[in-house]
Amino acid sequence: MRSWLLLVPLARLFGPTMAGAAPPVDPPSAVLHLSNGGFVPGKLIASSQPDLIRWQSTAFTAPFDMPLKAVTAVHFSVPAELPTATGDYCFELAGGDVVFGSLLALNDKEAELEIARLGHLHVRRSVINRMYRWRSSADLIYLGPNGLVGWQQAANKSGWKEEQDQPWTDQEGATIRGDFQLPARATLEFELSWKNKPDFVFALGVGEDEKTVQRGFRFEVWDRDLIIQRETEQEADVASVGEIGQGQGRIHLIVYLDQEKGRILVFNPAGKQLADLKVGGGVAQVLGSLSLANKRGDLRLERLWIGRWNGEPPRQVEGDKARIHRDDGSIVYGQVSRFDAASRAFVISDAKGESRIPEDQIAGVFLSHPGETGDRALAAVYQNGSRLSGAFQQVEKNAFTLSVPGIKETLSLPLDGLRSLVVLRPWETPAAIGGQPGVLELDGARLPGRLVDGHEQSGTSCLVWQPQGSSTSSPLRPGVSGRIVYKEAPPPQPVQRGASPPPQGPGGFVVDFLSALGGNQPAQTGGERKALYLRGGDVIPSEITSIDKNGVSFRTALSASTFVPHDKVKAVELALSPDPAIKLNKAKRERLLTLPRMQKENPPTHLIRSRSGDYLRGRLIKLDATKLLVEIRLEPKEIPRDRLSLIVWLHPDELGPARKTAAPAPAGAATRVQAVCNDGIRLTFLADQFASETLSGKSDVLGPCQVVLKEVGQLLIGGVIDKAAEGLVYQQWKLQSATEPKAFQADSGSSSGSRPLGTESALVGKPAPDFELELLKGPKFHLAQTRGKVVVLDFWATWCGPCLQAMPQVERVAGEFRDRDVQLIAVNLQEAPQQITSMLERHKLHPAVALDRDGAVAEKYAANAIPQTVVIDRAGMVARLFVGGGPHLGDQLRGALDAVLKEPGAKPTGK
């Protein structure tokens, strides 16, 4: 039972109206939430059936028909900035409905309202609770709840859920915090409810850290009392708000909070003041967040409105009577008999007769308490705060129809601007599913349901999903990635490593990996069965018969197939060593997987583990029934097979920082799946048919295969297979290249280890030897005439490979400085112009080439090793001299030119 209090500031809390929204285009993207906990993104599509949601998800080829009761809500994407608009009044109707518009008429039977985008409505008076004059949306800060939007769960906990758009939890210690940017003076109206006696802390005016929560204004349950308390370093006080009974219950409070003064006023909805607490203390701080912590029992946040408060304490109201609040704060009690449209005045009748209050003097009108709420299956909540609930009729392209109890017209509500459709009476217990029930998990979707018979066709997968509750089923679209979970956890008795569930994130498989590499992993596997592990994640119980240069030969009970090529194999188990004597710790593992620089050209391709836990890296050449032939650093060795327990393949393409995902999903023909069976077997194949609870297809290793669904713990679909495989234990064994020494990183191994910065030459700092040379394209270059410019001389010849590698860098960098008086001259050593021209054309280089036909200039510049690049400053002095080019010459030259151009002494010196 709700009771209401109209307070002036509260009236301003109502949000903007629906008017002014953009014209409808496509139905907005949305997420369908189901009563079984499922959810799936998609869009609402037209259907003429009442109480039916027809839902099309992009992951499926056909829509699902969901009875309304199988649905809890549809949440639409909401723009960051909520729409604002205008309206004369905010009307609060029965069932929590809210609309904005103008009042055309009111008598003792009904009201006529004009509502934006809905038109002229006839509303029974008995469903109108109160109406406020709507002046501005400026005082509204938050109107909700909007599910968990705006709230953040405390770290590592996810105890709060959304139910019918309301945050809800039954988890002890579950805490949410939301930054609603409370102003210094704020008013809040909230409703909290519970099924069993609650114990919670609702703290107002808190910040990021726990300390501020301790110092906030805290509603707490103390034994049987709800109290408001605050404790700062200087002061502390507490006041009782009311009693809390056993069992189900709720509170509905209106709070006026002045953080600067440290004061909080608590009212009940009937307008009665319940508490007035003032705790100052230190510097007043305005903190914008709320924190809601459930300590025990359950808790639901049903309503939260936040607005600005002008600081004026509200007047107390006498009981819960019909009344009119005037703008000046005075209250007129009495039943409003009608609205006189002609004079724009409300008429109040009481024993003394009629009195009139002009519309422009009133703040709000309390009519009555709605007696009945009527049949309301669904509530439509708009981004601007409007809400209408009723019977759900049908969906058209851009709108849906709703019969609202008490409103004469059947409403056609636009889909545009919707925030949520909330089903008010979802199933308590969803219908049985039949078949092999599982949960389909796709990107952003989770759908309990089952596979129904299907076969692969162009454009549709053989995986056909019928969600629980849906009367229709739909094939998955080809290329969709996800999984169907039949059993969440692996069976209790340990089997193969592969049986562990696919990792959820890095944390998952890192843990998996560490434990796997910790040396005790074989013990976990139980040693029941040896298996062949493929790179795609397959785990096939097998006896390895032999390995040769083509691949691995094996026997398996699963199929007649006996061979797999090397590039598909990740590991083979030859013997199960339950407890190897030698443990592998993290440091040893890293060493084992580090590839030394000198082996870069010949990386080991296999890692071989002995039964005692020793590891050996090398290149497997051959394995037969009795011995392993392996090349260890080019030295062939023979090892008796009975000493071996495991061989892991170290594929060359795994080496390096990032590896692209393995096999791309084949398009069209079939759906790639990996069945993760309850016994730890993993099998990847291209599924083409599902019938009789059996999935059939073809594995490229084992040939045709069939998997009976009841033996499957998880069915991985599409790209997720590769991601899951990445996380499996043996897939983590990858070589890492040893870090290159700095000398090699800087200069990939040409002539010298430490690159001179260009100032080592004896010529540096001395006047640049003058010269005059003929230019390739004429006429002549005379160094002395360039005084005042910076000149780069690049000594080169066409037969000099490093020169031709360096020249593009030199040309590019010199080009960057062209506007700053930098001139590049490529001095060619003793070659014919024709030869030079053809080489420059081939390499698409265009420097000015000076022809040092007799090598005299090269001699002056001691260019006895080329490439040699000389920077001559504005004063005509040799500023830098680089020899040998190299990949970093460009950067070095750029640095040199920058420095030379900045040198103060390098100004033109005349002449």
Residues lying near another protein in the complex (CB under 8 A): 598-602, 631, 633-635, 743, 748-753, 797-801, 804, 829-831, 839, 842, 855, 864-866, 883-884
600-624 in b/e burial notation, b at 16+ Cβ within 10 A?
eeebbbbbbbbbebebbbbbbbebe
Closest distance to another protein from the beta carbon of 760 (Å)? 10
Closest distance to another protein from the beta carbon of 910 (Å): 37
Tell the residue number behind the tokens 């509530």, with chain if given: 379
* Residue 638 Cβ vs another protein, minimum distance, rounded to whole Å: 16
Which of residues 114 and 631 has its CB atom nearest to another protein in the complex? 631
**CA torsion angle 160 161 163 169 (round to 10):** -30
- As given in the structure block, the two tokens for residue 472 are 């229709």
231 is written with which tokens? 């404790």
Residues 537 and 684 sit within 8 Å (Cβ to Cβ):
yes
Closest CA to 531 of 695, 312, 683: 683
Please identify, using beta-carbon distances, which residue of 181 and 748 lies nearer to another protein. Answer: 748
Question: Which of 319, 753 has the CB closer to another protein?
Answer: 753
Asked if residue 250 lies in contact with residue 244, where contact means CB atoms within 8 angstroms, the answer is no
Map residue 99 onto helix, strand or coil. strand
Q: Which is nearer to another protein, 184 or 764 (CB)?
A: 764
Give the nearest distance from C-beta 597 to another protein in angstroms: 8
DSSP symbol at 95: G
- DSSP alpha helices (H): ranges in 181-237? 210-215
CB of 798 to another protein, least distance (A): 5
Which are the contacts of 586, defined by CB distance < 8 A and separation ≥ 6?
514, 517
d(CA 898, CA 873): 11
Residue 167 main-chain phi, psi, to 5 deg: -65, 135
Nearer to another protein, 66 or 804 (CB): 804
Closer of 316 and 751 to another protein (Cβ): 751
Give the residue with the Cβ less far from another protein, 50 or 753.
Answer: 753
Q: Calculate the alpha carbon distances from 207 to 150, 203, 211 in Å.
A: 14, 10, 8
Shortest reach from residue 536's CB to another protein, in Å: 23
Closest to another protein by CB, 222 vs 799, is 799
Cβ distance 22 to 144 under 8 Å? no
Residue 440 or 840: the one with the smaller Cβ distance to another protein is 840
- β-pair type (140-144, 736-737): unpaired
The residue type of 432 is A
Angle at alpha carbon of residue 17, lines to 336 and 379, rounded to 5°: 85
Give Cβ neighbours of residue 354 (< 8 Å, ≥ 6 apart): 337, 347, 348
The residue among 361 and 805 lying less far from another protein, judged by its C-beta, is 805
Of residues 350 and 567, the one with the C-beta less far from another protein = 567
> Please, what is the minimum distance in Å from the beta carbon of residue 873 to another protein?
24
Query: Would you say 614 or 831 has its CB closer to another protein?
Result: 831
Nearer to another protein, 835 or 909 (CB): 835
As a 3-state breakdown, the chain gives helix, strand, coil percent values, each rounded to 5, of 15, 40, 45
CB of 635 to another protein, least distance (A): 7
Q: How many CB atoms lie within 10 A of CB 450?
A: 22
Query: Please, which residue, 158 or 864, has the CB nearer to another protein?
Result: 864
310 exposure class (CB count in 10 Å sphere: 0-12, 13-18, 19+): exposed
- The CA distance from 580 to 472, in Å, is 54
CA distance 104 to 309: 30
> Shortest gap between Cβ of 767 and another protein (angstroms)?
22
User: Which string of DSSP letters, residue by residue, matches 678-715?
Assistant: TTS-EEEEEEEEEETTEEEEEETTTEEEEEEGGGEEEE
Environment class of residue 541 by beta-carbon count within 10 Å: exposed (0-12), middle (13-18) or buried (19+)? Answer: buried
How near is the Cβ of 533 to another protein at its closest, in Å?
25
Count Cα neighbours of 803 within 13 Å in the Cβ-side half-sphere: 22
Three-state secondary structure call for residue 911: coil
Q: What would the two tokens of residue 91 be?
A: 């009307």
Give the nearest distance from C-beta 864 to another protein in angstroms: 5
Kindly state the smallest distance separating residue 670's Cβ from another protein, in Å. Answer: 31
146: tokens are 């909007």
Least separation in angstroms between residue 587's CB and another protein is 24
- Closest approach of Cβ 748 to another protein, in Å? 6
Name which of 304 and 797 has its Cβ closer to another protein: 797
